[in-house]
Amino acid sequence: PNSLKKFGIKSEIPKEVDRNKIDRIIFEELVDGIIKEDSRVYFNRVIKKLKDNGCDAVILGCTEIPLLIDSNDCPLPSLDSTRLLARAAIQKALE
């Protein structure tokens, strides 16, 4: 969040209880290739809370999160950090 602030971008992170559950889902499910519908619904619920608090996009800052988030039903536009990094690396390589 502080790195965004220097560019004038406000940010918000999920509440601690949500972060704890997100961590559990990532490390007990996603890293093992376990994709559960109720976990997908939970992530979308957390993203909806962020939208309700005024956020206009969500950064998927963990490589496993895009396994759950479908841009077609995500409450906010999502920024997949892995894809963005790959795109930037390709652009840099082509310079």
pLDDT score, position 4: 84
Q: What is the pTM of this model?
A: 0.85
- What is the token pair recorded at 39? 């976990």
Q: Can you give the pLDDT of all 95 residues of the chain as single tens digits? A: 678 888 898 899 999 999 999 999 999 999 999 999 999 999 999 999 999 999 999 999 999 999 999 888 999 999 999 999 999 999 999 99
User: Domain total for the chain?
Assistant: 1
Q: Are 38 and 13 in contact (CB under 8 A)?
A: no
Q: What angle do CA 30, 86, 84 make, to 5 degrees?
A: 75
Question: Would you state the pLDDT for residue 1?
Answer: 62
Non-local CB neighbours of 34 within 8 Å, separated by 6+ positions:
28
Instruction: Find the distance separating the first CA and the last CA of the chain, reported in whole Å.
Output: 29
CA–CA gap between residue 50 and residue 14 (Å, rounded): 7
CATH number of the domain within which 7 lies: 3.40.50.1860
- pLDDT value at residue 2: 77
List the domain range (segments joined by +) for residue 41.
2-94
